[in-house]
Every structure is written in C-alpha cells, then in structure tokens.
Structure 1
C-alpha cells in the first residue's frame, strides 16, 4: 500500500510543474508572467508576488527578445506540458479545491511561501540587497512565530513587510550573465540556459529537498504545486483563448519579465553606487 501511495505522489509531482500552472491573464488579452520558480507565490495578497510585466506586449526591442534556436523541440515540449496540465494537474487541483476549505488552502500556500525563505534570502545577499535580506529575515521570523509556522502571513498583513521574488537565475543576470537560448523544460515549463543553472543553484538551498524520508520530500512538492494551482485553475484556458499563439506569447512574457526583474536590481545597484 505504501508503494502505491509513493507512486501516486511521484506522478503527481511530475505533472505539476508544467508551464501552464498558475499563469494569469486579463480579459483584454494581456499575456501573463509565467511562474518563475517552484514555491514563489504570485497570489494578489502575497508580498513577494510577481506582477504581470508592465512593458507593452508589442515591444520587440532587443532587450525583450531571446534566441530560440530549438523552437521546434520547444514547441513539442510545450504541447506535452499542456496535456499534462489539462489532463493531470487541472483535475487534481479541482478535486483539491472541492475537498479542502479555502482557509486551509490559503494557510498551506502561506506555509510553503514561508518555507522557501532561504531561496529569497540568500539571493538577496548575493545581489547585494542588504535591506531586502533584512526584511526577508524579519518576515520569516514573524511568520514562523506569530504566524503559526507560516500558516498566516502575519508580516504582510499586520506589519506591512513587502517581499519580492528572488532566485539564483536573477542573481546570475545581475552579474551580467546572459540568458542564453530559450528552453521549454519537460514538466518545469519556460526557462533559459541561465534559468536552468539558476534552478540548480536554488535546489541546494530549498528545504524541501532535504526532507527525510524521501517520500515526505516528494509529497511536499506535490502538495505545494496542487495547492498553488488551486487558486488559478481556469487561468490557462483563458490565456489560450486570448493569445493568437500561446507558445510565442508565453515565451515573450517570460523573457520580458525576467529581463525586468534583472534590470530592476541592476538599476538599483547602479543608483546606489552613483550616490556613494
């Protein structure tokens, strides 16, 4: 019985990282900002959410583009990920929504947001964002204690601490490393060569990866993905209807959003250095 439970959890985890999980879209057809890293939340009331990129979708400047030499293969993987979402993750997330009350789902999502604190904290330090790192640490301490282990985002609600998404891919970009070619990863979704290296770096500081026994780690990954997706179940279908070419729209949204995140950090550092 334990073997079948573990097998189900593994399959669940494999189908939950797809590119389409949790993408948002407005009714005017604006392309969404794909989720950047596992566990980095984008709900409206979470302080470190990633907003939809502000640049005009028609902006085709060199800074908004990315090389896509493997477009044929990427499109095939995109279709594969799409099927995983439609026939795997979506039905599971719908069932989860019916069974688990909203308050409990929100608490679980907050718990994982708090758990991924090391990823954001370490990358703040690597990017030279001392103040942001201090805010991260303060929020983690407050949410872990007063927020009952992170189930309540006490730091944002009652203290007003606002956090930002941070990951090692952004850190590499801040230090001048180019994005490299665009890649669509099986299960994991849109990325780039720099993004792949960034994911590997973040893996080493992700607490879930050190949970023992391994069944707990896999189960936690599956629960986090399903919990997060349960808040955005219908978004992907709306996005596909709004976009003429979903593949191209997601690619452009991904690289523009990543460039904007790196540009914001690099610009802040440049301004700080000029003042000094």
Structure 2
C-alpha cells in the first residue's frame, strides 16, 4: 500500500525546486527567435525527453490502470469520487478568487463547498448544482495571469504533463494555498483521503477522454507537438474567456 505521508514529504522539496526553476527561467530573457507562431518553447529538447517519459508512463501504467478502474467501479461510484475530489478543491478556488479580486467567485466557491459538504454528504453528492448554485473554478496560474505575469516558456512536467512556467508555479502554489492541504498532513487515516480521491478522479478522467488522449499520444505524427498545441490552445482560450489572459504580441497559432 502506498504511503501518502512519505509521498507528500517527497513532493514538498521537489515542489519548491520546480517553483525555483520556473521562476528563474521566467526571469531569463528569451531570444525572440525562440518564439515562432505564438509558441515559446526554448527548452524543446528537454521537454521532448520528459514527454517520452510521460508517454511511456501512460502507455505502461496510467492507461491500463484507468481502464481497470473503470471496469471495476460503476460509473455512478466514479462520478461520486469525482464530485468529492472537486469539493476538496473549493477552498483553494475561494482563496484564488479572493487573490484575483473576484468576490463573487469566492462566494460561489465557498457556498458550493459548504452546501456539498453538508447537504451533499461530504461532497459525494453535488447538491449545490441541484440547487442551481453555479460552478466556479480557477487556479493560481490564472491568479498570476490576472496579476499580469506572463505565460513564460512552454514546459512539460514529469508525470503531470504539459504546462508553462507560469502554470507550473501555479500548480505547486495551489497545493499550499488550499487550506485542506494542511488539515490532512501527518494525520491518520485522514491523510489518505484527499490524494486517494484525486487519484481516482484523475483515473476516471483519463478513461472518459481516452479517445482524445490516445489520438494525441499514439495516432499523431508528432505527439509532443500535438499535445503542446492542444494544451496551449485550451489554456489560452480558458484564460481569455475568464479575462485572465495578458495581451500577447505574437500571433495566435490557433486563430482561424
């Protein structure tokens, strides 16, 4: 059985290292020639090496485990785990909304968390949606965008996949800005609940969109370039829709 306490202790210093590397890279001025067609990827050779590792990990572990997870558990149970995992993220969403000056978003996240934690049986039932309380989601990567921090270079993270320097910092920061992170560290057996729920949610998502992921990773001529394009397109659209995207002087490669 996995010892999540040890995993957390291992991830903490690694997380700080990721942040330090991303921030130092953000501070390094990049040659404009490294940005072509709206993509800033000066570390492509290193990124491709990480991509090969991630692709092998998906092929040999994540993909088959996700299929087994879906085969063993009924969709109703898997969806309940997803709801529970999403509810655990709401305190962090509320914090980021406040940091963005979005009082309405902070209120929605807080309300959804309180309703789903109580009426929704600790979050296993999405009672908030049944009561027509709108969904709200954000992260520290978006917070940085609202604050005017640039996207930075594209990077692919081991295990976690496509990202940017800004989103890599946001990913790590979200772990520490979620109050529930500290509520479950070094306690037993509660320490196992959040990471187990997140793992189940990730496996369920991998299975649900397996067609898309398999097409990108295993059917495209260049899976690295394809995954990079899809990630940047979706992330930029997401931030632009929420008002968090910065003005980019480079051509958007996804515009029609």
TM-score by length of 2: 0.73
Say whether residues 1:227 and 2:201 are aligned partners: yes
Aligned length: 214
> Contact between 1:9 and 1:222, CA under 8 Å: does it hold in 2?
no
Say whether residues 1:263 and 2:240 are aligned partners: yes
Q: Which residue of 1 aligns with 2:132?
A: 160
Q: Which residue of 1 aligns with 2:26?
A: none
Paired residue secondary structure (2:2):
helix
After superposition, the C-alpha distances for 1:131-161 in whole angstroms (9 at most, x for unaligned) are 12211111111111111110011111x2222
Query: Which deviates the most, 202-211 or 183-192?
Result: 202-211
Query: Which deviates the most, 211-220 or 104-113?
Result: 211-220
Q: For 2:192 and 2:54, locate their aligned partners in 1 and report how far apart those are by CA, in whole Å.
A: 19
Q: For 1:153 and 1:266, locate their aligned partners in 2 and report how far apart those are by CA, in whole Å.
A: 27
Q: CA RMSD in A?
A: 2.9
Report which structure shows greater RCO (CA 8 Å, sep ≥6).
Answer: 1
Q: Which residue of 2 aligns with 1:126?
A: 99
Structure 2: runs of 5+ lacking an equivalent: 11-34, 246-256
Structure 1: runs of 5+ lacking an equivalent: 15-61, 269-276
Paired residue secondary structure (2:134):
coil
Match of 2:145 among 173, 178, 188: 173
After superposition, the C-alpha distances for 1:146-186 in whole angstroms (9 at most, x for unaligned) are 11110011111x22222233001111111111011111011
Say whether residues 1:138 and 2:134 are aligned partners: no
> Contact between 2:92 and 2:174, CA under 8 Å: does it hold in 1?
yes
Deviation at 1:246, TM superposition (A): 2.1
Match of 2:84 among 86, 90, 111: 111
Q: By percentage of residues, which structure has more helix?
A: 2
TM-score by length of 1: 0.68
Instruction: Sort the Cα spacing of 1:247 and 1:222 in 2 relative to 1 into closer, same or farther, 3 A.
Output: farther
After superposition, the C-alpha distances for 1:171-203 in whole angstroms (9 at most, x for unaligned) are 111111101111101111111111121122211
